Structure 1
Amino acid sequence: MDNFNMPLSPSSKDVHSFAHPAEARLHHVDWDLKVDFDSKKITGWGIYHLTHENAPEVIFDTHHLHITSVTLPGSEAKLAFSFTQEKPFLGQGLRIQLPAGADQVKIVFETTPASAALQWLEPEQTAGKHHPFLFTQSQAILARTWLPCQDSPSVRFTYTARVQVPAHLLPLMSAENPQQKNDQGVYLFKMEQPIPSYLLSLAVGDLIFAPVGERCGVYAEPSTLEAATYEFADTEKMLLAAEQLYGPYLWGRYDLLVLPPSFPFGGMENPRLTFATPTIIAGDRSLTSLVAHELAHSWSGNLVTNATWNDFWLNEGFTVYFERRIMEALYGHDYAEMLHTLGYQDLLNTLEELKDKPQDTCLKLNLENRNPDDGMNDIAYEKGNYFLRHLERLVGRERFDAFVNLYFSTFRFKSMDTASFEKFLEKELINGDEALPQKVNAHAWIYEPGLPAGTPVSEATLFQKTRQELKAWQAGTPAKNLNTSGWSTHEWLFFLSNLPKDLSLAQLQELDQAFGFTSSGNAEIQAEWFQHAIRHQYQAAYGALEAFLLRVGRRKFILPLYKALLKTEPGARLAREIYQKARRNYHTVSTASLDPLLQV
């Protein structure tokens, strides 16, 4: 089993884990868990299977977990254990003394109210309003808050789980999943492919299933399922396109779970079961590039995984690139170029936000003594994508695709750090071409702030028409007379993000009357529009803004909106009033960013 794991170079020691996997490494776990909604607690135990050579101890990561006992399976002999000193973000290391020859330990544990991975939702916080809901969010280092683990992306393991839940609810995991409820409320799960801990997931709720293809389906609350299955109808086509690009899908099924709106991310690529926000259900399938993104993670991230969170760009840069290749295969070059253009705009905004922290705009990060969530921004995603597009332009798509295919097949079920990637790039793509290294300029892309000089930028052809309509409006053409027929979400986002900064209230009112931005059912469009409403104190949108912030917990949307409100004294008062009511609806991932801003 240990051949699933690739030894890290000394420079790639995971600073976000207490574990010493080079000495004693986890390779399989058998869990038995009970989910109790009354006490809002998960209790249970796990038998942890280890690989080591006469190691005196094994170390696991924990944070706000209660460890009841540690024993030797079979004999149930108690094993001595202790904890390291607690550290911010990281929690504590659980040190277990190993008897000679022991390769298994049994840990009995339970979660606490401070277990940050878990969000327990009351019935009124769900779509159906009748049943409670639980979901986990383990990335980046929150798996250790709901079960003991070696919480590093460099450690992969297989697992089984027996999960007991109330009989009227259905549990799902990043594993082989049931497609309907049973009468006992007891379910067995198995994950035969080795995964890192951040991909561990559990969701429990009033869920039903519908297929959207031979290998793909959707889980959702009953009131959401019809809209979700319509929205995600192309998932099987995406899967086939992905396989044609970069090789076979190695995880069995690819299903989606639509979570309540408090989910803090657009999606989470838990193997076999992507967690998705309902904010991508727009009614016109225009936001499904997020599905392509999470599907692409089945190769870049889940199959070949960043060794540490300092190497996060290896997960996300490849995934953004791959996502847009899938969208190009399905919907054409011009469509994919719209996504690249919008991504580039986001990257420029992030570079501006981080201008006082230039080192955070390098692809290779240094997050020691910091929360790894600090590195989860558009630098990893969009700068990483532009680096890969740069490589594709230099060598041509055919040669670059062969390189990516070799990368995924060579390192599947292994971890990859930046230094090892550079060696692979040198050997397999540059391959002795004396002129190519200077053109690639890998050091500047990876280790230097910002974008290298001369980075080519192009605007999507379809956006040129959008820009013409924007100029026409600025020149006096009434908004209602603009030619916007057939625009997708992407054209509208480009239109909104390129509006002038000095709009009058009359102009905002005119745009709103013509296009209904304030009342839009599209969360992406609403979030972009609310930025303008806040900047110009367009009070007519404030009721919808508050309703949006009370309902939606996706950090990508709510963090910029609260930041925008805080720029003025009246806005800051409103932000704190709303947050006081909305905070209970947000996951810890979101409140960890918002609490310091709003001084909670």
Structure 2
Amino acid sequence: MRYSILSLCLAAALAAGCSRDGATPSATADQSAAAVTTADQTTSARPDEYSYAEPGKVRINDLALELKVDFDKKELAGSATYTLDWTDPKATQLDLDTRDLTIEKVVGERSDGKWADLKYTLAAKDEKLGSRLTIDSPARNPRIRVTYHTSPEASGLQWMTPEMTQGKKTPFMFSQSQQIHARSWVPLQDTPSVRFTYTAHVTSPQDTMVLMSADNDPKAARDGDYTFKMPQKIPSYLLAIAAGDLVFQPISGRAGVWAEPGMVKKAATEFADTDKMMQTAERLYGPYRWERYDILVLPPSFPYGGMENPRLTFATPTVIVGDKSLVSLVAHELAHSWSGNLVTFYTPNDSWLNEGFTSYVENRIIEDLYGKEAADMEKVISRNELAAEYKEIDPKLQALALRPGTLADPDGSSASTNYTKGAWFLQFLEERFGRETFDPFLKEYFNHFAFQSIPTTKFIEYAKANLLDKNPGKVTEAEMDAWIYGPGVPDSAPKTVSPRFDAVDAARKAFLDAGTLPAKEATAKWSTQEWVHFIDGMPKTLKTEQLAALDAAYHFTGTPNGEIAQRWYPLAVRSGYTQANTAAAEFITRVGRRKLIMPTYNELVKTPEGLKLAEDTFAKARPGYHPITTTSVEEAIAKAKATAAAPAK
């Protein structure tokens, strides 16, 4: 998944996911690998604290879905059939994760091939985990089928009316299963520790194209009847579906774009370098093992930048700005084809194994295709964001591998830790061992654990055996533990500087000291990254006349660039620059990507006037937001109201 940053100005490059002031690492004895290990025993009954599944007793090997898409009811209805591996000879129950599902019937396949009713119990709902579905199977049926339908409020689905789409003619639906939202549209062992193959037969209105994270045929007829097959085993969070007025535009023989008709050509042009990225990743890390790599451009309400669903990356349209300046998102989601989809984290406490590795691979792709300067700008921006986050968050969330019980909600981990600190750690290893050693190690790591889910301890064991022990004197185990289990960023972290950012810093200083605006001949060549760095380095507030001068020169208010908007509008709100309020409200109404809009909401709710604007805007925007975004905004508003209502001390 892609929460953060930017990318480079690819068009310019082709023509030619932090400062070290975070918390100090303090690796104590109880922070050792042995003490903090997540469940490493694949035979344990329930290794994932965020799932009711007990794969040590019985495990889903294959899933067969029969689903009907009903836009009027806002539901998926049908059945899920599981081919099971009863790993514990004494086990006679299958526990599945569900959230707000209506279970209609459960049957099991007998030894004679006939199906018989099975007893089941749906437990009371837990607010975070949903409801445990326990199925009694005294005969240890090789296949079990659950007939069910979803709720219109399913946390992992968004249903959009035609008016909420670009074309305004056809409704739209899409899923977002990570972290634990797959259980809201399929009863599953909803944990990354379980991988399965799947097939699906989906019916829909005839004017609707249905796609899944499977073998989508670019030439498939739009007839309302679709079949899919995913022959590689995937975890539940990579199960994905979308339906709407979607057409296909090829980029290469193995890559292309799906989007609404009015967006598809524009998106294909923006993502034209996708196959070059694939070739670079293959040269560095081995073959692409998922056959096709297609990109589905979703409506602006998609809550994330991208989602790495195998064979069908989901992408926000907010990165399509016409100059290829934000499409490193594609490099990130593509990199997941190795780090995450191929080698998967075992539980959400090991999320850095997905996002840290992916952010590192993304940066290597960017450097290879567009130069070290572009890659270094990305590093500096992400590390500045990490430094800012580490001033606020609990030190225990700054460890790469989290202790069980640390997160009440698996969606609540530190993105900067998983993405940026994780990638930084791998850069540390790369520089200590040299690329001539580290690149083959990483390539073999992906090959060795291909199509497996592993905890952090497995990576540590593998790295010690195949990197540290084979190259003694380069990195100590204590240094590894400080990175993985300690808070903050170790002093051993490699430094990255950007000469282009030095020039931006000088221009910003001249403006702040003397009111001198950066020269147009310089800013005309600035990439998105340079503008972001320019705004990020501003004081917490500016005088309104300073903001007005910047706005008059560079037209930040109303910018189509989401990365600039998500920095400019919070600065404007904090500084009392109300001239930007109308455009800020329009931006957070039109866009549902959490990373881009939450900074503005979080600033608005700090004052009574801003809180009212936030509430009024949210009331208009809410129908177009994904449930995940809605929850985030609701929490920000509720917290602000509670703070305002609390008696003064």
Give the equivalent residue in structure 1 for 2:490.
Answer: 452
Distance 1:11 1:201 in 2: 27
- Aligned counterpart for 1:392 among listed residues 409, 421, 430: 430
Question: Residue 222 of structure 1 aligns to a residue in which SS?
Answer: coil
Q: Is the 8 A contact 2:250 2:257 kept in 1?
A: yes
The unaligned stretches of length 5 or more in structure 1 are 1-5
CA gap of 1:325–1:434, structure 2 versus 1, over 3 A, is closer
Change (3 A) 1:504 1:127: same
Structure 2 CA distance for aligned equivalents of residues 38 and 10 of structure 1 = 43
Q: 1:136: which partner in 2?
A: 175
Deviation at 1:594, TM superposition (A): 2.1
Which residue in 1 is equivalent to 2:386? Answer: 347
Work out which of the residue numbers 376, 390, 394 in structure 2 matches 1:337: 376
Alignment partners' CA distance in 2, 1:258 and 1:7: 39
User: Are residue 52 (structure 1) and residue 90 (structure 2) matched?
Assistant: no
Distance 1:80 1:466, change over 3 A: same
Contact 2:325–2:527 (Cα < 8 Å) also in 1: yes
Tell me what 2:558 maps to: 519
* Structure 1 position 92, deviation (Å): 1.6
**Superposition deviation, residue 182 in structure 1:** 2.8
Q: Deviations over 1:33-59 (max 9, x none)?
A: 000001111001122100114431111
Amino acid at match of 2:57: E
Contact 1:194–1:413 at 8 Å: present in 2 too? yes
Structure 1 residue 453, shift from structure 2 partner: 2.9
Residue number in structure 2 paired with 1:415: 453
- Separation (CA, whole Å) in 2 of partners of 1:41 and 1:330: 43
Give the secondary-structure state (helix, strand or coil) at the position aligned to 2:351: helix
Determine if the alignment matches structure 1 residue 30 to structure 2 residue 69. Answer: no
Q: Is the 8 A contact 1:165 1:171 kept in 2?
A: yes
- 1:468 aligns with 506
Partner of 1:481: 519
The list of structure 1 runs, each at least 4 consecutive aligned residues, that deviate by more than 4 angstroms after superposition, is: 9-12
Contact 1:350 1:379 in 2 (8 A): no
Work out whether residues 172 and 178 of structure 1, in 8 Å CA contact, stay in contact via their aligned partners in 2: no
Q: Which residue of 2 aligns with 1:3?
A: none
Question: Any stretches of 5+ residues in structure 2 without a counterpart?
Answer: 1-39, 640-649
- The separation in 1 between residues aligned to 2:227 and 2:52, in whole angstroms, is 30
- Aligned position for 1:430: 468
Correspondences of 1:153-552 after superposition (within 5 Å): 153-180=192-219, 182=221, 184-354=223-393, 357-366=394-403, 368=405, 370-431=408-469, 433-438=471-476, 441-476=479-514, 478-479=516-517, 481-482=519-520, 483-552=522-591
CA apart distance, 1:591: 1.9
Distance 1:307 1:584, change over 3 A: same
Amino acid of the residue matched to residue 58 of structure 1? L
Residue 67 of structure 1 corresponds to 103
Q: Identity of counterpart residues, as a percentage? A: 45
Count of residue pairs brought into register by the alignment:
593
Amino acid at match of 1:402: P
**Does the 8 A contact of 2:541 with 2:571 survive in 1?**
no
Offset at residue 579 of structure 1 (A): 1.5
Q: Distance in 2 between matches of 1:401 and 1:432?
A: 14
Q: CA deviation at 1:475?
A: 3.7
Which one is further off, 402-411 or 501-510? 501-510
The AA in structure 2 aligned to 1:63 is: R
| Offset of residue 501 of structure 1 | 2.9
Structure 1 residues 564 and 417, CA gap change in structure 2 (3 angstroms): same
Which AA in structure 1 matches 2:52?
F
Cα distance between partner residues in 2 of 1:376 and 1:583: 25
Q: Describe the SS at the equivalent of 1:479.
A: coil
3-state SS of paired residue (1:223) = coil
With over 3 angstroms needed to count, the CA separation of the structure-2 counterparts of 1:58 and 1:515, relative to structure 1, is same
Matched-pair contact (CA < 8 Å) for 1:12–1:417: no
Instruction: Please give the alpha-carbon distance, in whole angstroms, between the structure 1 residues aligned to 2:43 and 2:372.
Output: 40
Corresponding residue for 2:645?
Answer: none
1:370 Cα deviation after fit: 1.0
Which residue identity is paired with 1:404? L
Report which structure shows greater RCO (CA 8 Å, sep ≥6): 2
Alignment partners' CA distance in 2, 1:237 and 1:371: 37
Distance 2:296 2:624 in 1: 19
1:504 partner amino acid: K
Q: Which amino acid aligns with 2:428?
A: H
Query: Does the 8 A contact of 1:8 with 1:307 survive in 2?
Result: no
State the Cα deviation string for residues 439-468 of structure 1 (Å, max 9, x = none). 870111111111123534332222122222
> Normalising by structure 2, what TM-score?
0.89
CA shift, 1:12, in A, is: 8.6
The Cα offsets for residues 514-553 of structure 1, whole Å up to 9 and x where unpaired, read as 1111121111111111121111121111111000110111
Residue identity matched to 1:57: Q
| Maintained 8 Å contact 2:93/2:134 | yes
1:310–1:217 CA distance, 2 compared to 1 (3 A): same
1:93 Cα deviation from its structure 2 partner: 1.6
Q: 1:474 to 1:434 in 2, by over 3 A?
A: same
Greater shift, 256-265 or 9-18, is seen at: 9-18
Matched, 1:18 2:65: no
Q: 1:399 to 1:582 in 2, by over 3 A?
A: same
**Residue 73 of structure 2 is aligned to residue 39 of structure 1:** yes
